[in-house]
Amino acid sequence: MSNRVIKVDALARVEGEGSLYVRVKDNEIKEVRFGIFEPPRFFEAFLQGRHFMEVPDITARICGICPIAYQMGAIQAMENAFGVEVPRPIRDLRRLIYCGEWIESHALHVYMLHAPDFLGLSDAIQLAKSNRDLVQKALRLKKIGNDLLEAVGGGRAIHPVNMRVGGFFRTPRKAEIRALIPDLEWAIQASHDTIRLVGGFNFPDIEQNYTFVALRHEREYAIHEGRVVSNRGLDIGLPEFLDHFDEEHVKHSNALHGFQKPGKQPYHVGPLARFAINHDKLHPETLSAAKEVGLGAVVRNPFQSIVVRSLEILQVCLDALAIAKNYEEPDSPHTEPVVKASVGYGCTEAPRGLCFHRYEIDDQGLVKTARIMPPTAQNQKIIESDLWKVVAAHLSLPDEDLKWRCEQAIRNYDPCISCATHFLKLTVDRE
Amino acid sequence: MTANDALIIGIGNEFRRDDSAGLLVAARIEARNLPGVEVLTHHGEGTGLMSLWQGRSLVVVVDAVSSGQDCGTLHVVNTRCEPIPSGWTLFSSHAFGLAEAVELARDLGELPQSLWIVGVEGKDFSHGQELSPAVAHALENAVTKVIELVRPMA
């Protein structure tokens, strides 16, 4: 009888702390556990009793990599509760700052965290030794994302302070936004180079028949607004979200595991889901770049997420450039909300996938209940499902190689474990 | 602020007890309003740190450290002469943090002329704001050390 345990105590190149345990008996996988031991932070509980205006700046603290996702979801939920409509220039600025977050988050993941996997290197430092220009390009790309965040977000890229319910505290001057144009033009070219590079990587031959869930918008590649749509016919407004999706505690993790009802079906959020659901909304230049590297309308190989993520960098650079060229300063930086007891919903596409917010507000504008579903929590079950398939396909590999393949499979999702509840432990048991 | 000013970067999480040491040291130095010294705080993501210190000549990064030594011990590393010791745990949840940023900057030739790391040995990194007594006691020594390092500029 052959027993095999593979164990990674500290998975590298993921945001946060977690662990992986795989047990194999007689060449058959018995158990796969993607565990998260980062302690829960109880954001939803301590939002209770807070004034609605405080909420976006509190939720921004959920994540240092994607604060806009948490800020904007909360802001839009409050606006939804109070019936606030924002004018076009405010909407454009919101999309622009979100493009900045996608650029910096995707550039960090594609180059510094994920590309080394495909180049047989241990990390970005090794990558810099073999390809200095590439790493410098990545750093400049990421900085352009940060510059966008700072230009719109009030001088701080990490926890921007300028967004508020109803709009912005201060809207940027036209000249400040126009000044971003030359860098964005460079970023578009750099994105094409990135797509060609990662498109040429070798990918393990693994495909999954995913249920993809993403926002969809009638006019654009959905980032900050839309209906929740799946590739299996679901098409719902935000108030119906919790009728179809929920989360559960599992013994081996501090992160909640999201599932689709009925039953507890895994589903996939993030770049592959967005690409499949909104393929027709991609910019012609992005579509053509996708075709050049051989991608069809749907990508089911999770390892190719690095290519889709790179295409999304191009998409948002193109979007950001168009907004920067056309931006006109709004008459007023914000619309003042009128408080009423209500329930509000907000949902945006964080770099890692759909991020849902629901708040119940009382007539004094205080939060009665809060519910936030981060993308990494929603992807927990699908990550485990991918791992079953990856381990099964690579059982012949020695433990060290199998361990590395599993870590790579987890990095396909750019999991932000800090958001989902932080580091990964991998244990593979071969009995 | 100019590129000739000394730059002090405090790193940490204010809600993870001893991990806030870097932020608290930075705040105390900022309150002294030293001429020729810029003080910033940061959550520790590596590429962000690299863009903060790019083009600067004298930089001191203050962070909490866990290396197994006595709580409150002050560590001083001149990154021009040595890497950040591999036995240190810098309490960052980031996949690419301070230690990686220093080594990547070194490879790219983008390490400031002087980049010092001042580490305060912590013990309790759980949720909360209260410091271990030894860390609270070490803060002023860390402030003195950082000011001594930036004195040529200040």
Contact A128 B108 (CB under 8 A): yes
Query: What is the CATH classification number for the domain harbouring A195?
Result: 1.10.645.10
pLDDT at A186: 98
Minimum-distance CB partner of B104 among A13, A125, A142: A125
Any A CB within 8 A of B89 CB: no
Residue A126 located in a structural domain = yes
pLDDT at A34: 81
For B67-108, how does the pLDDT look when each residue is reduced to its tens digit (9 = 90+)? Answer: 888 999 999 999 988 888 766 665 555 567 888 899 899 988
Residue A162 located in a structural domain = yes
Residue A426 located in a structural domain = yes
Minimum-distance CB partner of B100 among A38, A65, A124: A124
pLDDT at A427: 52
pLDDT at B4: 79
CA distance A317 to A290: 15
Shortest CA gap A371–chain B (Å): 22
Q: Residue A110 carries which DSSP code?
A: I
Residue A357 located in a structural domain = yes
Contact A13 B127 (CB under 8 A): no
Per-residue pLDDT averaged across B50-63, rounded?
Answer: 93
Residue numbers in B near A16 (CB within 8 A): 93
Q: Is the pLDDT of residue A8 over 50?
A: yes
Contact A146 B51 (CB under 8 A): yes
Contact B47 A41 (CB under 8 A): no
Contact A158 B95 (CB under 8 A): no
Residue numbers in B near A418 (CB within 8 A): 93
For A312-371, how does the pLDDT look when each residue is reduced to its tens digit (9 = 90+)? Answer: 999 999 999 999 999 999 999 999 999 999 999 999 999 999 999 999 999 999 999 999
Query: What is the CATH classification number for the domain harbouring B29?
Result: 3.40.50.1450
Q: Is the pLDDT of residue B149 over 80?
A: yes
Concatenating the DSSP letter of every residue in B18-70 gives GGGHHHHHHHHHHHTT-TTEEEEEE---HHHHHHHHTT-SEEEEEEEEESSS-
Contact B43 A135 (CB under 8 A): no
For A137-187, how does the pLDDT look when each residue is reduced to its tens digit (9 = 90+)? Answer: 999 999 999 999 989 987 665 567 789 999 999 999 999 999 999 999 999
Any B CB within 8 A of A268 CB: no
Contact A305, A412 (CB under 8 A): yes
pLDDT at A321: 98
Shortest CA gap B147–chain A (Å): 26
The chain B residue lying nearest A140, using CA atoms, is: B51
What is the pLDDT confidence band of residue B129, given thresholds at 50, 70 and 90? confident
Contact A194, A110 (CB under 8 A): yes
Give the total number of structural domains in chain B: 1
Locus of tokens 């860098």: A183
B 7-66 residues inside an 8 A Cβ radius of A: 42-43, 45-48, 50-51
For A207-254, how does the pLDDT look when each residue is reduced to its tens digit (9 = 90+)? Answer: 999 999 999 999 999 999 999 999 999 999 999 999 999 988 887 777
Q: Which two tokens stand for residue B25?
A: 């040291």
Tell how strand B6-11 and strand B37-42 pair up.
parallel
Any B CB within 8 A of A64 CB: yes
Query: Looking at this predicted complex, what is its ipTM?
Result: 0.74
Contact A112 B95 (CB under 8 A): yes
Shortest CA gap A65–chain B (Å): 8
Contact A64 B100 (CB under 8 A): no
From residue A300, alpha-carbon distances to A336, A339, A350 in Å are 44, 45, 20
Residue B1 located in a structural domain = no
Share of chain B above pLDDT 90, in %: 57
CA distance A65 to A300: 26
Contact B94 A112 (CB under 8 A): no
Between residues A191 and A18, the one the model is more confident about: A191
Contact B96 A64 (CB under 8 A): no
Residue from A139, A158, A376 to probe the interface with B (highest B Cβ count within 10 Å): A139
How many beta-carbon contacts under 8 Å exist across A and B?
61
Residue B136 located in a structural domain = yes
Residue A286 located in a structural domain = no
Helix axes A181-199, A132-153, angle to 10 degrees: 140
The chain A residue lying nearest B126, using CA atoms, is: A39
Highest mean pLDDT among A281-290, A397-406, B81-90, B144-153: A281-290
CA distance A181 to A325: 7
From residue B58, alpha-carbon distances to A52, B9, B17, B36, B144 in Å are 43, 11, 28, 11, 16
Per the omega criterion (within 30 degrees of 0), is the bond before A262 cis? Answer: yes
Any B CB within 8 A of A16 CB: yes
pLDDT at A1: 44
Give the total number of structural domains in chain A: 1
pLDDT at A4: 76
Minimum-distance CB partner of B47 among A14, A125, A142: A142
Tell how strand A28-35 and strand A163-164 pair up.
unpaired
Per-residue pLDDT averaged across A260-277, rounded?
Answer: 96
Its domain, for residue A19, covers 3-204+326-430
Per-residue pLDDT averaged across B126-130, rounded?
Answer: 84
- Nearest by Cα to A338 from A7, A113, A85: A85
Minimum-distance CB partner of B43 among A125, A143, A158: A158
pLDDT at B154: 55
Its domain, for residue B72, covers 6-150
Q: Is the pLDDT of residue B143 over 90?
A: yes
Q: Is the pLDDT of residue A76 over 60?
A: yes
Residue numbers in A near B100 (CB within 8 A): 123-125
Any A CB within 8 A of B127 CB: yes
Residue numbers in B near A161 (CB within 8 A): none
Contact B108 A129 (CB under 8 A): no
pLDDT at B66: 85
Q: Residue A281 carries which DSSP code?
A: G
Residue A366 located in a structural domain = yes
pLDDT at A423: 31
Per-residue pLDDT averaged across A378-404, rounded?
Answer: 89
Locus of tokens 């704001």: B129
Residue from B9, B54, B96 to probe the interface with A (highest A Cβ count within 10 Å): B96
CA distance A256 to A264: 13
Residue B122 located in a structural domain = yes
